[in-house]
Structure 1
């Protein structure tokens, strides 16, 4: 009897680890998403232990991606695929009508323009407008990213907040808190700052038009705040 074949994808990012297992029909039979708190080795080990019962004696096609995945792929002896390339291939396969794709991770951000050729851009050393930025701003409001999302849904006003640097953003947020500004308004302003950074820093002024695909956990907030986060 032919062995069952499974596709295993492991994304080791700057702040989280994600794993998915697909059967030959691309049905999801396992998925998990967790923060590694800089303890990548133990987090991945625990995840692999948990997935063992699902994998059984199946023949595996194992691929690793993510900003912290290269050394892990080398140690496991499996294929590594650069994350921008992985995102681009996934978009072309599952959403081929996409004109622009934006992916915001824990400490990096990517934008892909699709057309006759694919233009890919990634942020540099600065983590402004990424998940870490959201975490820093959430802590100022004594909540987490999900709490920030809930707060923002009842906003009434948007304040300018620096998006390129978390330190600069704090110098904008703290006076607002001291002056009694609504936490809902500040939360929405933080998300607007992420959009501003995406447009000015990542897109660098190039128009974001047509059908836009959002990738990454941070972009989930866009779905609930589409009336707040205004892309041109």
Structure 2
């Protein structure tokens, strides 16, 4: 029996295909360009042809903003996204106490605490505005003439920082425009943008709670953007010193704030781990999904 975890996000679709023991067989991360159902259908065609995904035998668990309706068409069991991510984190990183996940159009902060011998999750989300998300960062980079490859390597440490609002995408774009007109170097503008994103997370999204080590950074922006990782480590190091958590070196911060190899796939992995332990989600094939795409 194969286990398939699908994450249908606001800008991308991801899947992880695993065996019954949870060992990864295949995975993919692709933009859907607003055609979520079409991308999932393409995934299923590929998996049936290349890996023998079989209706009536294998299990599919699905999550993400677009997962509910699509899941019904293929027999998948739906898992709430925060539950899926938390399931993967607790299984793979039992010592993690705080998770930041930045997606294409939303952000999540997950606190994991011990209470009366049980692990308790406290979740805060921002999805009303795309400010501070991956789409927001990429849009500002395009305005600065920065391509995706260069954006990945742009740093945070050592640059002069300027005020950029990340609370509202419209205000942030106005701030970026002002900096461009003032002749501020693009490296400083991007460093300021990374500063704003992390500051927004730590000052607003955490609601005054202190993220405790270890910290896990998930999602495309946290994985792809070097400067964002540097900004996280800088601010958390300072915050932990101010609040008496510890006075850590830069080397310590590399160990305490981690970006895992499969950072993009934690929601999909959580679906796989849920499929290992829970009933339901028997794959019913892709025909109803194809019908909906063609006739629905």
TM-score by shorter chain over 0.5: yes
Give the conservation status (yes or no) of the 8 Å contact 1:102–1:110: yes
The structure with more helix, counted as a fraction of residues: 2
Choose which of 177, 193, 196 in structure 2 pairs with 1:193. 196
Q: Distance in 2 between matches of 1:211 and 1:186?
A: 29
Taking the TM superposition and a 5 Å limit, the aligned residue runs for 1:217-228 are 217-221=220-224, 225-228=228-231
Structure 1 residue 15: deviation in Å?
0.5
Structure 1 residue 163: deviation in Å?
0.1
Give the conservation status (yes or no) of the 8 Å contact 1:10–1:18: yes
Q: Which residue of 1 aligns with 2:169?
A: 166
Give the match's secondary structure for 1:206. coil
Q: Which residue of 1 aligns with 2:37?
A: 41
Structure 1 residue 142: deviation in Å?
1.9
Aligned length, in residue pairs: 228
TM-score by length of structure 1 reads 0.90
Structure 2: gaps (5+ residues): 240-296
Give the match's secondary structure for 2:2. strand
Cα separation, partners in 2 of 1:192 and 1:154, compared to 1, 3 Å: closer
Taking the TM superposition and a 5 Å limit, the aligned residue runs for 1:1-232 are 5-56=1-52, 58=54, 59-115=57-113, 116=115, 117-152=120-155, 156-221=159-224, 225-229=228-232, 230-231=235-236, 232=239
Give the RMSD, CA atoms, in angstroms.
1.9
Give the match's secondary structure for 1:214. strand
Give the conservation status (yes or no) of the 8 Å contact 1:15–1:106: yes
Give the match's secondary structure for 1:189. helix
Cα separation, partners in 2 of 1:222 and 1:141, compared to 1, 3 Å: closer
Give the conservation status (yes or no) of the 8 Å contact 1:15–1:38: yes
Structure 1 residue 227: deviation in Å?
3.6
Structure 1 residue 65: deviation in Å?
0.4
Give the conservation status (yes or no) of the 8 Å contact 1:17–1:34: yes
Cα separation, partners in 2 of 1:200 and 1:144, compared to 1, 3 Å: farther
TM-score by length of structure 2 reads 0.72
Q: Which has the higher contact order (CA 8 A, sep 6+)?
A: 2
Give the conservation status (yes or no) of the 8 Å contact 1:106–1:130: yes
Give the match's secondary structure for 1:162. coil
Q: Distance in 1 between matches of 2:134 and 2:62?
A: 21
Structure 1: gaps (5+ residues): none
